[in-house]
Amino acid sequence: MMNFGDQLRDELDQIEAAGLTKRERLLTSPQGAHIMTIQGPALNFCANNYLGLANHPDVVAAAHRGLDAMGFGTASVRFICGTHAEHRELEKEIADVVGMEDAILFPSAFDANGALFEVLLTDEDAVISDSLNHASIIDGVRLSKAKRFRYENRNMEELEQRLQDAQGSRRILIVTDGVFSMDGYFAPLEQITALAEQYGAVVAVDDSHATGLIGPCGAGTPARAGLTDRVDIITGTLGKALGGASGGFVASTAEVVALLKQRGRPYLFSNAVAPSLVAGARTALRIAREGDDLRERLAENAEHFRARMTEAGFDLLPGSHPIVAVMFPGEDGARQASAIAEDMLKLGVYVIAFSYPVVPTGRARIRVQLSAAHSTADVDACVDAFIASRDRVAG
Ligand SMILES: *Cc1c(COP(=O)(O)O)cnc(C)c1O
């Protein structure tokens, strides 16, 4: 029998043989449109730095102030002695921006989703989940004892079927990503909330790729659709548009938040978000809230990129979100996408190729993420690199 180390080596070899090994690229500069890696400089098109706040001077200065005023760490979970006045301030400000009664912070959005379902649902209840929901939703749902139903991504006939299947449950919760991160597609909230009303379900939206950048004041996908009142729960992250450090939240009614503070395990048993991050996130949230100019810049960049890429003959998934999937369909697609992404890096443009099992077989793609920090020249350089690498890889 193989020993422990050999067993793991064997597993790693299988991952490598399947071409699935993920490798870290080491950065030696802060996050931004222009970054430095140990291999050299690059234009970055794969960060969740939608508003360019990850290294914004005001956010950095606020984090310094938080550090100086409140120290490095809380050395406690929230409910023992780890809640600073500023945690509550940030929670109220998040709730206010997304249009909910209250909010609760977690160490991450992964933990927010880890807490939510177990607290709200028992074996008398049902949860209905979109098939492309984020891994943290899938894991969070697994932690609850609720009956589980799944519908194909954005398929509203299937959602209705599942709602019928779930009838008789004490509670029915529909959960969806607000934006699907591999496609840049929005969840059809209009139809989801209408079905929820018809079948007596509550709706939770994970707006991690939307808070700060989508909707009026960056309030997210429910606000974009004018449906804030029809959505019961919004989860989100401080790790993307809102400064990109770490922290997550659940925003909802006072009762949902109160119950999460009694029973949410990542809230009860994991450390409070550090003071510097809380102070930085408050400033990032304020900049985002007032950041119509940033959202406009971001939308222009996405539009310009989509227009030029389409003109150059690339196959894009349609939409308006700054996540843009450049498709390389078919049998050879995975190889093409990864060869082009690799070649683009040699031209100083950093993008990432995704293939099976992250996306369905035959649906390989390069996912590009635009930022308000990109200049038009940066976006043009990205498109030019796509064209050059396509020619070089084909030729
Ligand atoms: C990024 C993301 C998360 C995880 O966010 P963290 O705060 O980094 O844990 C959760 N849900 C969705 C939909 C995400 O895109």
**CB under 8 A, 24+ apart: contacts of 81-84:** 82/271, 82/272, 83/272, 84/272, 84/275, 84/278
Cα–Cα–Cα angle for 133, 137, 141, nearest 5°? 120
pLDDT at 395: 65
pLDDT at 217: 98
271 assigned to a ligand binding site: yes
Low-confidence ranges of the chain (pLDDT < 70): 395
**108 CA distance to ligand 1 middle (Å):** 7
Residues with CB under 6 A from ligand 1: 108-110, 134, 136, 177, 181, 206, 208-209, 237, 239, 248
* Helix, strand, coil in percent for the chain, rounding step 5: 45, 20, 35
pLDDT at 19: 83
Pocket test for ligand 1, best of 237, 273, 321 (most atoms within 8 A of CB): 237
pLDDT at 2: 85
pLDDT at 164: 98
pLDDT tens digit string along 249-298? 999 999 999 999 999 999 999 999 999 999 999 999 999 999 999 999 99
Core vs surface per residue 74-109: b (16+ CB within 10 A) or e: beebbeeebbbebbeebbebbbbbbbbebbbbbbbb
Q: Where are the domains of the chain?
A: 27-51+291-394, 57-289
pLDDT at 1: 78
**246 CA distance to ligand 1 middle (Å):** 10
Total-model pTM: 0.97
Pocket test for ligand 1, best of 136, 321, 367 (most atoms within 8 A of CB): 136
- What residues act catalytically? 181, 209, 240
- CATH number, domain 57-289: 3.40.640.10
Question: Both tokens of residue 334?
Answer: 């995975």
239 assigned to a ligand binding site: yes
240 assigned to a ligand binding site: yes
367 assigned to a ligand binding site: yes
Architecture per CATH, domain 27-51+291-394, reads as: Alpha-Beta Complex (3.90)
pLDDT at 127: 98
